[in-house]
Amino acid sequence: MGLFGTVLKGVTSLIGSNSAKKASAKAQAEMSAKLQQAINQSQANYEGIRADYAGARSVLNPAVTGIGDLLGVNGDQATQSAFDRIKASPLYESLYRNGEEAILQNAAATGGIRGGNTQRGLADFGADTFAQLIQRQLGNLGGLANIGLGATGATAAASTGSTENIMNLLQQMGANNATGIATRGGISSGMWSNAGQMASDIAGRFALPSSNSIGNSANVGAMANINAILSNTSKLF
């Protein structure tokens, strides 16, 4: 291969290496962008799930507080307030009024409306009705607490899944960036190696003794062409 051919081969190799570096950078950027989109989508999915369960989660604390009030966990004053609310509720008033009327009607029919049995019956009925409503309220609050716990658990599971997915995607992004940097580093190393080899080949050729002035003139012309090629090539990097 002639001197000029050696230079052209070296320059072509350098141009190809530079194109490979640009392609590597482009591929890295595109992959990173896709991974970032996946991260954003994972976060958006979690936020959507969190919003969907927000209403169900919101009943947990009031339900637990209500259970504690009725069971005396939150103090006597809180318990008394809870009892008063039950007694003042339309449901209790309706149940007690209907039961009271039934008891009085039965007493009137048997002639014992003013007797002690009637008074004890009314008192027992009121206490039983009150106790039933307390149990009913505890059951209702327990149901709400279960709904809140379920929603909280589902939200926590979604958060864990989203976090794991995002961490995995970030690891992929880091690996992608590291691969891109390493690839371009290897290409750059090869470019400098090729450039050094080309320079060595050129130096070796010009180190040979020329047989006549015609050969020297040819070498000068070749070097002019080589310098022009190298000058244009340097603009690529």
- Domain residue ranges of the chain, discontinuous segments joined by +: 3-234
* 3-state secondary structure (DSSP) of residue 209: coil
Q: Is the pTM of this model over 0.85?
A: no
Which ranges of the chain does DSSP label H, i.e. alpha helix? 3-52, 54-58, 60-71, 76-87, 90-110, 116-207, 213-234
| Matching residue, tokens 């004890």 | 120
Per-10-residue mean pLDDT, the chain, length 237: 50 59 76 87 91 94 95 94 92 83 66 62 80 94 95 93 90 80 64 55 53 49 53 49
* 3-state secondary structure (DSSP) of residue 236: coil
Report the sign of the C-alpha dihedral through residues 139, 140, 141, 145, in that order: positive
pLDDT in tens, 38-57: 899 899 999 999 999 999 99
Give the residue among 56, 49, 24, 29 at the shortest CA–CA distance from 165.
49
| Matching residue, tokens 């890295």 | 28
User: Across all residues in the chain, what is the average pLDDT?
Assistant: 75
* 3-state secondary structure (DSSP) of residue 72: coil
pLDDT in tens, 174-185: 888 877 776 766
Report the sign of the C-alpha dihedral through residues 91, 95, 100, 105, in that order: positive
Contacts of 96 (CB under 8 A, 6+ apart): 125, 126, 129
* 3-state secondary structure (DSSP) of residue 112: coil
Tell me which amino acid residue 138 is: L
